[in-house]
């Protein structure tokens, strides 16, 4: 007797966010170059979300001044991604992390359905 059969099993693949880049104090041109590469990566998956985590500078700055510096950095990054590179503003999430020694930025890419990144302590 000739018998044949088939079976398929699917395993859910957990989706994870990936840190794309990180930088501290760098020149504006270096920052633009990194953001250009970031946009290219994000455009490879049209459903992905950009997460920008900014860690403010901790020392020798009054809280109000720190907030203004964080907001200025955040505005520069989002403005460049949206207005200079044409990235959709609705796909960008900005997060302020806890203060560190100096201001620091992390760029993350997150596929749809992935758990968003959280700032490191």
pLDDT tens digits along 108-120: 999 999 999 999 8
Total count of domains within the chain? 1
Return the closest-CA partner of residue 19 out of 46, 51, 61, 45: 51
The 10s digit of each residue's pLDDT in 70-93 is 999 999 999 999 999 999 999 999
Report yes or no on 42 lying in a domain.
yes
Residue 102: which CATH number? Answer: 3.30.1330.60
Report yes or no on 120 lying in a domain.
no
Report yes or no on 98 lying in a domain.
yes
Task: Show the tokens assigned to 101.
Answer: 């020694």
pTM of the complete model: 0.84
């Amino acid at each position: 007797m000739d018998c044949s059969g088939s079976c398929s099993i699917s395993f859910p693949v957990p989706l994870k966010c990936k840190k794309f880049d990180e930088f501290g104090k760098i020149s504006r041109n270096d920052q633009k170059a990194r953001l250009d590469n970031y946009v290219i990566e994000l455009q490879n998956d049209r459903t992905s979300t950009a997460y920008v985590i900014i860690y403010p500078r901790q020392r020798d700055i009054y809280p109000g001044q720190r907030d203004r510096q964080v907001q200025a950095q955040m505005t520069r990054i989002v403005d460049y991604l949206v207005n200079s590179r044409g990235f959709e503003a609705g796909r960008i999430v900005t997060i302020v992390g806890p203060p560190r020694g100096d201001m620091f930025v992390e760029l993350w890419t997150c596929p749809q359905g992935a758990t968003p990144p959280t700032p490191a302590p």
